[in-house]
Structure 1
Amino acid sequence: MTIPEFDANTFHYASRRELVYGKKGMVASSHPLASQAGLEILKKGGNAIDAAIAAAAALTVVEPGSNGIGGDSFSILWKDGELYGLNSSGPAPARMTREAFLEAGDKIEPHGFKAVTVPGVPAGWAALNQTHGKLPLSEVLEPAALIAEEGFPVSNVVSQAFERTFTILKKKLETFPELKTWFDTFAPDGHPIQPGEIWRSPGHAKALRLIGQTNGEAFYKGEIADAIDQLSRAFDGFIRKEDLADYQPEWIAPISTNYKGYDIWEMPPNGQGIVALMALNILENVELTSKEDPETVHKQIEAIKLAFSDGKATISDMKYMSETVDQLLSKSYAKARSELIDDQASLPEPGIKDQSGTVYLSAADEEGNMISYIQSNYMGFGSGAVVPGYGVSLQNRACGFTLEEQHLNVVHPGKRPFHTIIPGFITKDNKPVGPFGIMGGHMQPQAHLQVISSLIDFHLNPQDALDAPRWHWDEGKKVSVEPEMPLHIIQNLIKRGHQVTITPTKGLFGRGEIILRNDQGVLIGGTESRADGHIAVW
């Protein structure tokens, strides 16, 4: 088998879900309506890339607290025997400078129009569709437009995002009057949408159809661009229509490391995927016994700490990085870093010195195409600014920059900020194994490490790998764990000096999807039990 070996009949963890198998096509996402939208496009003759776009567009409707049309995206796809990467994250507008932020205060505020960078999602959809899709973009986006137009019953998970944001933004409204656009769009009756309540967004449907009919031009050069420009000027934002008109996503080669015979692929910086690869390189140099051995968890935590400390010091827009990817992924450097791991929790420092709202989905088709796709507004609903009449909630990715003048990631016009969202992909012997991803801010490389280790080191099947209790390294020696984490592991981590907090907050630990294809062409899917995860299969 090219896929990691596992016993499909053995379940190591109590799961609300079982593995899903398919042959003609599979779409895995965090919401049933989104997965079904993707499957609908597959059945109309679209391929996996079209299906992923359809599901992604639907997620902007059904999970607006996690992503939106006004966000960014990254993709890794396998098509026609090749692996491709698309960076569709936007840069800082021309007026967005360090000095401009400092005039308003000493930090980059997460709310309001000043936090809005150029959105990349619509351009990403168009680029994927035009380069690798089969159906017109207008047809691919129509299922999502219909959901927005006709409305859908909100789930408990989605309702919680509405309620959380309602409470947060209510306190910020006086300081950031543009947040009224959020309340007008997402709480028109003056209260958060409740579970089971029907929510409609005709403006959202209009925006999706305009984007589809114009292959994204309406968003970057047409009437939606005009509306964004007008709103930004009204609320002292930096973004202008010319920033939108100048934007193009970038096709770029993914980066990889070989972990015990499997090539694990991530997108290169400005994303944090390289952190997961660095951590896997470190982990490869230490002995792991069993999945539920406390020493295994300790070593994984220490590996991610070391990788994050280097990532924080070096990751920026690739054009500004002095350390190359090859240097950061050096096996000899990883070996040296691994020797810092002992039996106690550490406070890691970077070995190289240098001058969280998201949705993830994956899709596969009968032709052999597979795609790993992620998009986000950041911090839930992003900036809290929504374009009236179009339902477009705008991201706050300027928060990915720093105002430290000498830091590689300091804000600068035309520069992409540090990005948390990362899609993953596995190959073996130059053959596709499949896409994987776990959304959730800085949890993402941590979850990538845990899931890959579960699949490859401990032979868990995809569903068990997703269901296994997760840990989250917070900072320093602080670690959060899920309540399902075995008690003997928690007790041992405390003895080793980790400051452990047990938290029931599911969102902290990410939400993931996995699709693998075996040598017989059978698709094997696992989805997230911490959310409304759903696999639509054909």
Structure 2
Amino acid sequence: MKAFANPAYPYAVTRNAAYAKNGMVATSQPLASQAGMEILKKGGNAIDAAIATAACLTVVEPTSNGIGSDAFALVWTKGKLHGLNGSGRSPKSISIDKVREQGNEEIPTHGWTPVTVPGTPAAWAELSRKFGRLPLTEVLEPAITYASEGFPLTPTLAKFWKKAYANFKENLTDDVFKPWFETFAPNGRAPKIGEIWSSPGHAKTLKEIAETNAESFYRGELAEKIAAFSKENGGFLTAEDLAEHQAEWVEPIKANYRGYDVWEIPPNGQGIVALQALNILKGFDFPEKESVETYHKQIDAIKLAFADAAMHVTEDKHMRYTAEQILSEAYAEQRRSLIGEEALVPEAGEPTSGGTVYLAAADGEGNMVSFIQSNYMGFGSGVVVPGTGIALQNRGHNFSMDPDHVNALAGGKRTYHTIIPGFMTKGETPVGPFGVMGGFMQPQGHVQVVMNTVDFGLNPQAALDAPRWQWMKDKIVEVENRFPHHLAQELADKGHQIKIQLEPNSFGRGQIIWRDPETGVLIGGTESRTDGTVAAW
């Protein structure tokens, strides 16, 4: 791998990779990156910086995440990688029959029905408790300040805010959604580029989370407000559901790709999709990046991995096959053999007995964090708890209404989850955190970034800037407008149904921080498709 070189490469069109020695924070919003850097300079470590950045993102990028989000993290510290599952469970009282009694054949996108217990506040508190250096009151201070005093909207943020407002104005007309409009459209419209937006309720909630180490959110005053609003509007979520939530430390899972270990959070996350695709792809040689054979094999490997995930992945205790079985070499060889010269329509195999913000943070002591949190589908459920700024996610939408499916909706269950942080190591040495947010684009982005780095020697910025593709369903593949058109035509000749997508944000938004194993220098890249920034020290 030549990831620490800075090759002359046509896709590094916007900026060069960032280099630093003492610390680095990379995410999609400049103010959030700087908030993390502020905490590093105050004596916090990379974990403190990641929490500060994540909390700040709930304020400065509410189109993608919020206090009512779920979160996952991979933390490298003292020579070991730790995984945190910060996703919440469905309300105990919910069931397929009860959802059908509401007149739904599938789980709604908005309202209280798709709301599961938000896991983000507990994830912040648990990361701080186990690995943080500064008190949560200090770490959340930048976010509290931005929520209280306001901040000016950046261009990409304003674009998606306006789009969400138009959608909600047309479709979310029930009284339950009024607090969303009061919070995020206080002037009867979405705020514009450069306009100052603030949320005093958001600031008060973050302060209470900080002062109680998130206890108030699950077993205190904030929990009472959430549960009361749910009950008032016929929601399934109760105070008992909130009180029973705990963030869970888990053992990360991995695939070895050409001598590098690529790590993900185990199911219920979809990181296993990226690992299975890499397992399939490592059986092929890829002498050049810009080759129809490279793209063809990448796309068909992703198809096969997604087909398996759709059939087999949910909360681990409900899965028929273990992650180890799905990631076995024998099963990878079996799936690899299905990739031929023509585009395939994927079907699940049978192994023998995987709207969001992503951030990466690192400090000069060797700590590194890969962190992701999301409401899902932009603003999530459209439900905001009055006066609190708590915008609730709609992760329950991913449950299946088929009672025989492994991911079938049931009370007290974690659903198949799209958000995934990534991390790479070589032997016992950390290479660093990486991630590409964006629904089902995420494992596809992970595969492309890993291969850009390992197979094709691109530095972090070039690895992110390279044109992306995204498999949608069947043989349909979307490619960016910058994707080489002659290769798009050659893929079409192989049977792929190629569509050129003009919206760059459809292909995810990524961040990377690698650490040079010889010098300890940090090398970072940030997403050129949005307002991203690498804060470096």
| Structures share fold, TM-score greater than 0.5 | yes
Partner residue, 1:137: 136
Provide, for residues 471-509 of structure 1, a one-character-per-residue CA deviation record: whole Å limited to 9, x for no partner: 000000000000000111111011111111101112210
Partner residue, 1:397: 395
Q: Residues 46 and 369 of structure 2 are in contact (CA less than 8 Å); yes or no, is this contact kept in structure 1?
A: yes
Partner residue, 1:460: 458
1:411 to 380, 393, 409: 409
Matches within 5 A, 1:303-322: 303-322=301-320
Structure 2 residue identity aligned to 1:537: A
By how many angstroms is 1:11 displaced?
A: 2.7
Structure 2 residue identity aligned to 1:361: L
Structure 1 residue identity aligned to 2:43: G
Q: TM-score, normalization: structure 1? A: 0.98
Provide, for residues 270-293 of structure 1, a one-character-per-residue CA deviation record: whole Å limited to 9, x for no partner: 010000000000001122121111
Structure 1 residue identity aligned to 2:170: K
Residue 280 to residue 296, structure 1, CA distance change in 2 (3 Å)? same
CA distance in 1 between counterparts of 2:204 and 2:9 reads 45
Tell me if 1:530 matches 2:496: no
Provide, for residues 345-396 of structure 1, a one-character-per-residue CA deviation record: whole Å limited to 9, x for no partner: 11011112799x0000000001100000000000000000001111010000
Tell me if 1:434 matches 2:432: yes
Matches within 5 A, 1:189-204: 189-204=187-202
Partner residue, 1:492: 490
1:87 to 77, 85, 88: 85
CA distance in 1 between counterparts of 2:21 and 2:5 reads 20
SS at match of 1:115: coil
By how many angstroms is 1:9 displaced?
A: 4.5
Q: TM-score, normalization: structure 2? A: 0.98
SS at match of 2:288: coil
Matches within 5 A, 1:179-198: 179-198=177-196
CA distance in 2 between counterparts of 1:182 and 1:160 reads 18
SS at match of 1:515: strand
By how many angstroms is 1:335 displaced?
A: 1.1
Provide, for residues 31-61 of structure 1, a one-character-per-residue CA deviation record: whole Å limited to 9, x for no partner: 0000000000001110000000000000000
SS at match of 1:49: helix
CA distance in 1 between counterparts of 2:130 and 2:280 reads 37
SS at match of 1:78: strand
CA distance in 2 between counterparts of 1:235 and 1:107 reads 20
Consecutive unaligned residues of structure 2, counting only runs of 5 or more, are none
Residue 508 to residue 405, structure 1, CA distance change in 2 (3 Å)? same
CA distance in 2 between counterparts of 1:26 and 1:315 reads 34
SS at match of 1:52: helix
Tell me if 1:177 matches 2:175: yes
CA distance in 1 between counterparts of 2:117 and 2:505 reads 26
Partner residue, 1:474: 472
CA distance in 1 between counterparts of 2:310 and 2:482 reads 30
| RMSD, aligned α-carbons | 1.2
Runs of 4+ in 1 over 6 A off after TM superposition: none
Partner residue, 1:277: 275
Partner residue, 2:334: 336
Tell me if 1:66 matches 2:26: no
CA distance in 1 between counterparts of 2:350 and 2:236 reads 34
Q: Residues 95 and 411 of structure 2 are in contact (CA less than 8 Å); yes or no, is this contact kept in structure 1?
A: yes
Q: Residues 256 and 266 of structure 1 are in contact (CA less than 8 Å); yes or no, is this contact kept in structure 2?
A: yes
2:291 to 283, 290, 293: 293
Sequence identity (%): 55
Tell me if 1:114 matches 2:113: yes
Q: Residues 4 and 523 of structure 2 are in contact (CA less than 8 Å); yes or no, is this contact kept in structure 1?
A: no
Partner residue, 2:162: 163
CA distance in 1 between counterparts of 2:172 and 2:444 reads 34
Q: Residues 322 and 354 of structure 1 are in contact (CA less than 8 Å); yes or no, is this contact kept in structure 2?
A: no
CA distance in 1 between counterparts of 2:474 and 2:306 reads 11
SS at match of 1:64: coil
2:365 to 352, 364, 367: 367
Structure 2 residue identity aligned to 1:63: E
Partner residue, 1:237: 235
Matches within 5 A, 1:438-453: 438-453=436-451
Residue 313 to residue 4, structure 1, CA distance change in 2 (3 Å)? farther
Structure 2 residue identity aligned to 1:29: T
CA distance in 2 between counterparts of 1:14 and 1:86 reads 33
CA distance in 1 between counterparts of 2:118 and 2:352 reads 29
2:98 to 97, 100, 109: 100
The number of equivalent residue pairs is 534
